Structure 1
Amino acid sequence: MRTAPMHIASIGTALPGPPVDNTTLGKLFGVSDEWVDLFVGTRTRHFARDPGTGEVLCSLADLCAEAADRALAAAGLDASDIDFLLLSTATPDALLPNTASLVADRLGLNYLPVYALQAGCSGALQVLDLGRSLLSVGHRTGLVIGGDVTSRHLDPSRSGSSIPTEELVNYVLFGDGAGAAVLTAEPLGERIAVRALLNQFAGHGRPTGQGVEWRGPADQETGRPMLFEDYKAVEESVPPMSVEILWELLDGLGWSLESLDHLLPPQLSGRMTQRIVDHLAIDGVRETSCVADTGNTGNALPFLQLHRLLPEFETGQRALALVVESSKWTKAGLALEKI
C-alpha cells in the first residue's frame, strides 16, 4: 500500500452526447425497461457511436482531451505546468499510436514523459499509483486520465433476438466516457490528500471474469464475443473482495470505520453496486455512485465518482474509493482526506 505524499488538485470529466435511456435501447435491441432494471439497474448511458447506426460521434482521444482540459481549467493551470501525462484504457483508439500520445499532442504537450497503460477500471487507480511514483522523484504536477469507448465493440446491426443473453447484457451495461485528475506534490486547488493507495493483482490461478477482444483481419473467425463477462463470478467475488480492500486501507492507515465520511464503491452496474454496498454494511457513511446514470465506463468510473464527490467533500473529511477489476482480478483502493 502506497503512502508517499500526493494531492488531487482537480477533476475533469467528459461524456459523449445526450444520455441514452432504456426505452431507446429497448426499441433497438428488443429488450424491455423491466429486463434492464432487473438484470443491470442502469437508467442511462452515453455512447461515442450512434447506437442505431454505428456512426462515430467522437473518439476516445476526443473524450480524454476534453476531460483533461476541464481538469486543467479547474486547477487554474495550463499545459505548460504539466510534467507528465498518464492514460489508462481497455479500449484504445488504435494499438499505435497510443491514445496517451494523441491526447498529449492535442493538449499541446511536448518533451515530457507520456505513458499509456492497458487495464480495466482499476487502471484509473494504477495511473494514480504511477503518478505518485513520478512525484516522489521530483516532478511537481502531472495529469492522469482514464477512459473507455466500449461501444466500438457492440454491433448495432444485430437483432436483440439473435444475441445470447450473456452478450445482450453488454449492450445495456456499458457506456463511454473519460475522466482526468491533476496531481500535485503540494496541496493545490481542491486540496485532496491521497493518504494511501492500494493496487494488487489478486488473480493467480483464477479464470478471467471479463474479456475485451481486439482482432485483426487474420483472426475474425474465432467465434469469441468482442465483450464477455462472467456475471456469476463477478456476483460471487466482487462483494467479498470489496470488504478486503476496505479493511486493508483502514487498517493500513489506522483509521476507524467511524472516522469515514464518504464511500466510493465499485461501479460495475447499478444492481451490482447496490449488492456491494449492502454487503459492506456501513452505516453513517455517504455513498457516491454514478454507474446507474453513466453506464459502466471502465477507466472513467473512479474519476466520475470523484467528480461527484467534490461538492460534498468538506475540509477534514475522509473518503475511501474501492475498485475491483474482474478481467484477471485486481484489487485497488484509494484513501482520501480533504485538507
Structure 2
Amino acid sequence: MTAPAIGILAVGAYAPATTIPNAHYAARLDTTDEWIVSRSGIRERRHAAPDETAVTLGVKAVRNLLEHHPDALQGVDLIICATSTPDAMFPSTAALIAGHLGLKGQPAMDVSVACSGFVYALSAAHGLIHAGTARKALVIGSEIMSRVVDQQDRSTAILFGDGAGAVVLGEVPAGYGLQAFELGADSSGGPSLFLRGISAELPDGGPPMGPYLTQNGREVFKFAVRVMGDMTENVIKKAGLTVQDIDWLVPHQANMRIIESACERFGLPLDRAVVNLDRYGNTSAASIPLALAEAVQAGNIRDGEQLVLAGFGGGLSWGAAALKWWGGANGRH
C-alpha cells in the first residue's frame, strides 16, 4: 500500500501591532537607517505588547489560519511549537496554545532549535503522521525575540523582531506535499550564537555569557551563506528534483545578503524568494511560517508549485524541506 502524501492544509500568521522603525535605533544608538538597511535589508520590525507572550502570539497566528480555514483544527491530534522564547520551560508552549484552542488532552511538545526550529518541527510532525502516531498536526513557530535581545546592543537589537506563524499538516492528494528534509547541527559553532539557559556558559567551552542573546555576526554570516546553499542543494537532490524545478524559495528571514547569495548560487531570480524581513526582521523560528503564510494569503504561491523552505541559526543548526504545494491550503481547490 502506498503511504499517503502528507502536506500543508492551511496557513496563518500574526505579527504584533507595534512597529519599530530603524529611526528608533538611529535616535538611541550609534547607527543610521542607511547602515541597517545596507547590512541587513531590515527597515522595521514588530515588538510584542507587554501582555503578549509566545503563547498569545501563537494563538493569534492560529486564529488567523482559522479565518481562512474555519474547520482546519478538526481532527488535529498533535501540536508542536518551535520556539526559543517559551513562556515557561514547562508546561510547553505547545500545550498552553492547545489549551487556548480547545485541543486539551492532545499530545503537545516544543522544539527548541532557534531559527531552524520550524523546519525541525515540520519534520517531526511529518514523521509522526507517517508512523501512524498522529493523523493531523498543528505546527507553530512563535517567538518574542525582543525580550532576549539587549536593546542597547547595536549589533543585535536592530536585527530581531517578534511574530508567529502556523500551519496544519495532514493528508493531501497524491503527488503533493512534503518530499524530503535535510537537517543538521554543529555545536562547535554554538558560541557564535548563544542564548543562555540555566548555565551561563556552554559545556563545550567559551566565555561566560550574560542574560541576553549574543552573536558573532561575522562567523554566523559565513556559516549561513555556506549552509544555506549546501542544504538547499541537498534537499533538492533528496526530493529527486533539479534547481530548475524550484518555483519558490522560502528562506529564514535573517539577512538580505544571505538570501541574495542563495539565489545567485542556484540561478534563481530574487523575486522567486519569499522575502518580508524588511518589515519584520529576524523572528527566529517564526520567520519561515510567517513569510509562507503571507505569500500564500496574497495568492503568490499556487497549486502545484515547487517550494523549498530553508532555515539556519543557533545550534549552529540548519533545516530544509522540499514540498509540492497543494492549492487547497490557499482556500481554493
TM tier, smaller = 0.7 to 0.9
CA contact (8 A) 2:114 2:315 kept: no
SS class of match (2:290): helix
Closer, same or farther: CA 285–255 of 1 in aligned 2, 3 Å: farther
Structure 1 runs (4+) deviating above 6 angstroms are none
Question: Match for 2:122: what amino acid?
Answer: L
Match of 1:96 among 72, 90, 95: 90
Closer, same or farther: CA 37–93 of 1 in aligned 2, 3 Å: same
> Scaled by the length of structure 1, what TM-score is found?
0.84
Closer, same or farther: CA 271–61 of 1 in aligned 2, 3 Å: same
Measured in 2, the distance between the counterparts of 1:268 and 1:60 equals 19
Aligned to 2:205: none
Aligned to 2:331: none
Match of 1:293 among 256, 259, 279: 279
Measured in 2, the distance between the counterparts of 1:281 and 1:324 equals 21
CA contact (8 A) 1:80 1:109 kept: no
Measured in 1, the distance between the counterparts of 2:10 and 2:176 equals 9
Question: What aligned pairs does 1:157-306 form with structure 2 within 5 A after superposition?
Answer: 158=152, 167-187=153-173, 193-201=177-185, 203=186, 205-214=188-197, 224=210, 226-283=212-269, 286-306=272-292
CA contact (8 A) 1:67 1:180 kept: yes
1:203-223 deviation per Cα after TM superposition (whole angstroms, max 9, x unaligned): 154453311124699xxxx66
Aligned to 1:148: 143
Measured in 2, the distance between the counterparts of 1:223 and 1:195 equals 40
Closer, same or farther: CA 206–58 of 1 in aligned 2, 3 Å: closer
Question: Match for 2:45: what amino acid?
Answer: R
> Scaled by the length of structure 2, what TM-score is found?
0.85
CA contact (8 A) 2:92 2:108 kept: no
Note the C-alpha offset of 1:4: 7.5
Note the C-alpha offset of 1:268: 1.3
Aligned to 1:307: 293
SS class of match (2:35): helix
SS class of match (1:178): strand
Match of 1:130 among 116, 124, 141: 124
Match of 1:337 among 318, 324, 328: 324
The sequence identity of aligned pairs, in percent, is: 24
Note the C-alpha offset of 1:21: 1.0
Between 33-42 and 145-154, the greater mean CA deviation after superposition: 33-42
Measured in 2, the distance between the counterparts of 1:304 and 1:153 equals 20
Note the C-alpha offset of 1:321: 1.6
Q: Tell me the C-alpha RMSD between the 2 structures.
A: 2.6
SS class of match (1:6): strand
CA contact (8 A) 1:239 1:280 kept: no
Measured in 1, the distance between the counterparts of 2:306 and 2:73 equals 30
Closer, same or farther: CA 200–14 of 1 in aligned 2, 3 Å: same
Note the C-alpha offset of 1:200: 2.2
Question: What aligned pairs does 1:55-66 form with structure 2 within 5 A after superposition?
Answer: 56-66=50-60
Note the C-alpha offset of 1:235: 1.9
Measured in 2, the distance between the counterparts of 1:27 and 1:115 equals 41
Structure 2: where are the runs of 5+ without partners?
201-207, 327-333
CA contact (8 A) 1:63 1:178 kept: yes
Note the C-alpha offset of 1:73: 3.7
Measured in 1, the distance between the counterparts of 2:240 and 2:310 equals 17
Match of 1:324 among 312, 320, 323: 312
1:91-143 deviation per Cα after TM superposition (whole angstroms, max 9, x unaligned): 11122332222111111112211111222111101111111122123332210
Note the C-alpha offset of 1:187: 4.2
Structure 1: where are the runs of 5+ without partners?
50-55, 159-166
CA contact (8 A) 2:16 2:162 kept: yes
Question: Match for 1:149: what amino acid?
Answer: I
The number of aligned residues is 314
Question: Match for 1:144: what amino acid?
Answer: V
Q: Are 1:33 and 2:26 an aligned pair?
A: no
Question: Match for 2:325: what amino acid?
Answer: K
